[in-house]
Amino acid sequence: MFRIYNKIRRTGKVTEPFRIDDDQVAELGTACQKEIARYFSGSLAIRMVDAGSCNGCELEMHAVNNSFYDIERFGIHFVASPRHADLLLVTGVVSRHMQEALKRTYAATPSPKLVVAMGDCAGHGGEFGESYASCGPVSNVIPVDAIIPGCPPTPIQLMQGILQLLQKK
Amino acid sequence: MTPVVRGQVVEFKDHLAAMGIVAEELSPLAGITAQLKLQTADWGKAARVAAQQRFRWSAIWGDHQSPDIEIKALFFGTDGHLLLQTNVPEKSAELASHTPFYVAASRPERYLHDMFGVTFTDNHDSRRWGRHQAWAETDFPLLESFPVGGFPAKETPPDSGYPFEPVAGAGVYEIPVGPVHAGIIEPGHFRFQALGENILRLEERLGYVHKGIEKIAVGRDLAGLIRLAGRVSGDSTVAHSWAACQAVERALQISPPPRASALRAILAERERIANHLGDIGAICNDVGFAFAQYQMSRLRELWQRQNQQLTGHRLLMDSLCPGGVTVDLDQSSMIAMREEIVQLRTEIEELLPLLLEYPSLQDRLSDYAILSPETAEQLGAVGYVGRASQLADDLRRDAPYPPYHELKIKVPVFSTGDLTKRLRVRGEEILISLDLLVKLLRAIPSGPLVTSFSLPNHEIEGIGLVEGWRGETLAYLRLDEQGRVVRYFPRDPSWLTWQALELMLDGVIVPDFPVCNKSVNGSYAGHDL
Ligand code: SF4
């Protein structure tokens, strides 16, 4: 037990302020937080849906929860059910085998709701496009409020994308 | 149980002859030890002989060359890979199944049926596997005549009529889970039959993220193929693109320059380490030990940032190309990498014992969710799943390709097959990979990054086989005279481990399923294609 506490103490705090880039030192997270306070009573609940991704986008979605980004400190958290969600974060092209599941998830999310297409696949079809097996980008299946480009988007790009959408609202 | 002693692939033809089976010996594809062509009628019997030799069943795939469909199946013996092939007419495509001798063949055969219309006569399970409702039962997407756009309905209905095997009994109830799960995870369906908290049976239903990768590969040029291969499974982008590049290079009879091979191995070991770090954290997190999750995800993030520095991509995507690599290491990044290796080693050497000795964690992981060595062998389990259950296959050591043929590869093996062992294999593999990285950096050859090549004016085929972080990763490739893809088949190692998850749940309770799932961590994308 002591070794664990000791390790925690020595690791210290690694969480970073968000910087959009070097000359524009904006605290992205804090900006998000303000918008979230305005529209969502301080907390934005995200339900993710992998509609046909390669799993690359999911890895970066995990990363925003690590101690460096710790997205939860800005009131953004991932929830288990669409019924608890304000925002659907969708990755991948929509495979035809996931079409109905995505539509039902969308229907189960209470209004007002936002949909963000994360990554080039979800946004424009990416490497997989439309085919006998794929409906193509998310907007072919449910209405999309914002697209975050990248393959996959980095954790910072993901944060930025969510903020831009909130500011646009 | 003593470790598996397999027969020799080179002697297989004689073993067949002893059973009265005449096989035509083909000159094997590069990287394969022996390749035999069989009469259609001998297909099932050959699998019996292979099973007697205790060969590991590895893969099966089809290739439509009208009016025939060519079927190839891959096995692994002590001296490397055996490739069997036969032809069935497209009009009455029927073949004996390998499932009476190899459980692992069942789902791949069902998938092959859904894609090509080949019926495997004595596979007791004739249910669809890859197909849900996106195409008709009478359509087969990988036949040449099937258009890539298919004939989709505007709305594809869910596959709600899929016949799960029922379990009956007083108090038995069913829990359907997915395709949309509760966490940040890929989609798939799990059907549990439970009694109280105990799982009586789990049946997996995959195929939700089938994107038609094999079909959309057709007609691509080599650059397009490698981009696609790098996205078969995002966490295995190096493994799949290496396998595909190797298939191209072997087909063209070229080899990448020594520096490129070394860099590929550096990338592959980096990928292995990143994923193992993530998995160790996630396994612990699934039993509520958040400390490990925070530590491991911190280390993983640092590692990914270094990936970004070295290659411009946090997941290492698009770092390989046919003939070589697209990235290089300069002096300063090699120094940075050496420092990073020392640092990670120190942290892992501190953290691993801490996890393995921590009683409340071990209480949850030890002697639980056991995959017995016998079951593992029947499934031909690969990677860390196999190694935790005494199956020590590792292509880097057992069927080596440059640069591993010059390196000594240690493979950690355990025999009890429980959750802790699947965690320990990962931990030890991180340390072994760190050693390999040090060696690779020390001896990195100078020279060009790409071997240039010209395309021959005829059709060529090749096979790539590399040890990805999940295990044996395969790419089969046939190119036309302009170098365009006619057939690309990537076989993710997950095909050989997903079933293990179903068979390790004896005595496991429903709330512990996520940690079992994490310990296997099959790729949905890599499996569904
Ligand atoms: S955008 Fe890239 S990383 Fe994301 S799912 Fe598509 S291929 Fe994978």
Segment B473-496, tens digit of pLDDT: 999 999 999 999 999 999 999 999
- Provide the token pair at A53: 């991704």
Question: What are the distances in angstroms from CA B169 to CA B341, B481, B502?
Answer: 55, 60, 20
Mean pLDDT for the stretch of residues B115-124 = 93
What is the homologous superfamily of the domain B213-527 according to CATH?
Cytochrome-c3 Hydrogenase, chain B (1.10.645.10)
Cβ(A125) to ligand 1 under 6 A? no
**Region of residue B367 (phi > 0: left; psi between -120 and 50: alpha; otherwise: beta):** left
DSSP labels, B370-416: ---HHHHHHHT--HHHHHTTT----HHHHS--TTGGGS-------SS
In chain B, residues with a C-beta closer than 8 Å to the C-beta of A54 are: 231-234, 525
Q: Which residue of B has its CA nearest to A5?
A: B291
Work out the burial of residue B145: count CB atoms within 10 Å of its CB; fewer than 13 is exposed, 13-18 middle, 19 or more buried: exposed
Work out the burial of residue B323: count CB atoms within 10 Å of its CB; fewer than 13 is exposed, 13-18 middle, 19 or more buried: buried
3-state secondary structure of A118: strand
- In sequence order, the 6+-apart residues with CB closer than 8 A to the CB of B295 are A7, A11, B281, B347, B351
Q: Does B234 touch chain A (CB under 8 A)?
A: yes
Does A169 score more than 80 pLDDT?
A: no
Does A12 score more than 90 pLDDT?
A: no
- Strands B324-325 and B24-26, by their bridges, are unpaired
- Provide the token pair at A101: 């599941």
Q: How many Å from the N-terminal Cα to the C-terminal Cα in chain B?
A: 36
Q: If you average pLDDT over every residue of chain B, what do you get?
A: 95
Cβ atoms < 10 Å from Cβ of B446? 7
Mean pLDDT for the stretch of residues B329-351 = 95
Strand segments (E) across B161-290: 172-177, 189-195, 198-205
H-helix or E-strand containing B237? helix B237-252
Per-residue model confidence as pLDDT tens digits over A24-47: 334 666 777 777 777 777 789 999
Spatial contact of B39 and B22, defined as CB atoms under 8 Å apart: yes
**Contact at CB, B211 and A49, closer than 8 angstroms:** no
* One-letter amino acid for residue B477 of the chain: L
Instruction: Provide φ and ψ at B466, rounded to 5°.
Output: -130, 160
Per-residue model confidence as pLDDT tens digits over A104-115: 999 999 988 999
| Angle in degrees, 0-180, between the axes of helices B258-285 and B290-311, rounded to the nearest 10 | 160
Picking from A11, A58, A104, A132 by the largest number of B CB atoms within 10 A of its own CB, the best residue to mutate is A132
Nearest to B185 among A52, A58, A151 (CB): A58
The CATH architecture of the domain made up of B9-105 is 2-Layer Sandwich (3.30)
Q: Which of B98, B118, B116, B112 has its CA nearest to residue B50?
A: B98
Mean pLDDT for the stretch of residues B238-266 = 97
Q: Please tell me the total number of residues recorded for chain B in this structure.
A: 529
Does B4 score more than 90 pLDDT?
A: no
Does A73 score more than 90 pLDDT?
A: no
Q: How crowded is the C-beta side of B346, counted as CA atoms within 13 Å?
A: 8
DSSP classification of residue B2: P
Instruction: Provide φ and ψ at B176, rounded to 5°.
Output: -90, 135
What pLDDT shows up at residue B68? 95
Taking the centre of ligand 1 as the mean of its atom positions, its distance from the CA of residue A55, in whole angstroms, is 7
Task: Give B43-88 as a 3 state SS string.
Answer: HHHHHHHHHHCCCEEEEEEEEEECCEEEEEEEEEECCEEEEEEEEE
Tokens 């069942």 belong to: B106
**Contact at CB, B295 and A54, closer than 8 angstroms:** no
Instruction: Provide φ and ψ at B36, rounded to 5°.
Output: -125, 140
Does B209 score more than 50 pLDDT?
A: yes
Between CA B459 and CA B457 the distance in angstroms is 7
Between CA B8 and CA B309 the distance in angstroms is 45
What pLDDT shows up at residue A1? 77
Strand segments (E) across B416-493: 460-468, 471-479, 485-491
Between CA A149 and CA B133 the distance in angstroms is 30
Tokens 């340390």 belong to: B431
Per-residue model confidence as pLDDT tens digits over A75-103: 899 999 999 999 999 999 999 999 999 99
Q: Whose C-alpha lies nearest to ligand 1, atom 2? A: A151
3-state secondary structure of B439: helix
3-state secondary structure of A46: strand
Taking the centre of ligand 1 as the mean of its atom positions, its distance from the CA of residue B223, in whole angstroms, is 17
Spatial contact of A137 and A91, defined as CB atoms under 8 Å apart: no
Does B525 score more than 90 pLDDT?
A: yes
Between CA B474 and CA B490 the distance in angstroms is 6
What pLDDT shows up at residue A165? 87
What pLDDT shows up at residue A38? 74
What pLDDT shows up at residue A23? 40
Picking from B128, B138, B142, B180 by the largest number of A CB atoms within 10 A of its own CB, the best residue to mutate is B180
H-helix or E-strand containing B217? helix B213-217
Chain A nearest C-alpha distance from B135 (Å) = 7
Percent of chain B scoring above 70 in pLDDT: 99
* One-letter amino acid for residue B316 of the chain: L
Max distance between CA atoms of chain B, in angstroms, equals: 70
Per-residue model confidence as pLDDT tens digits over B362-417: 989 988 999 999 999 999 999 999 999 999 999 999 999 999 999 999 999 999 99
Per-residue model confidence as pLDDT tens digits over B131-140: 999 999 999 9
Nearest to A154 among B184, B297, B314 (CB): B314
Spatial contact of B338 and B438, defined as CB atoms under 8 Å apart: yes
3-state secondary structure of B346: helix
Tokens 């890539």 belong to: B148
Spatial contact of B98 and B44, defined as CB atoms under 8 Å apart: yes
Instruction: Enumerate the CATH 1.10.645.10 domain ranges in chain B, comma separated.
Output: 213-527
Instruction: Provide φ and ψ at B203, rounded to 5°.
Output: -125, 130
Could you identify the atom of ligand 1 that is nearest to the CA of residue A127? 7
Q: What is the ipTM of this complex?
A: 0.94
Nearest to A99 among B147, B151, B155 (CB): B155
H-helix or E-strand containing B266? helix B258-285
- Rounded to the nearest 10°, the torsion over CA A119, A124, A125, A126 is -60
Domain A22-168 has CATH 3.40.50.970: no
Instruction: Enumerate the CATH 3.30.460.80 domain ranges in chain B, comma separated.
Output: 9-105
Residue contacts between A and B (CB atoms, under 8 Å): 171
Q: Which residue of A has its CA nearest to B209?
A: A52
Does B84 score more than 60 pLDDT?
A: yes
Q: Which of B478, B337, B391, B490 has its CA nearest to residue B55?
A: B391
Give the predicted TM-score (pTM) of the model. Answer: 0.95
Chain A nearest C-alpha distance from B206 (Å) = 10
What pLDDT shows up at residue B1? 53
Instruction: Provide φ and ψ at B250, rounded to 5°.
Output: -65, -35
H-helix or E-strand containing A29? helix A28-40
pLDDT band at B472 (very low <50, low <70, confident <90, very high): very high
What pLDDT shows up at residue B168? 83
**Contact at CB, A131 and B186, closer than 8 angstroms:** no
Q: Please tell me the total number of residues recorded for chain A in this structure.
A: 169
Spatial contact of B411 and B436, defined as CB atoms under 8 Å apart: no
- Strands A146-148 and A114-118, by their bridges, are parallel
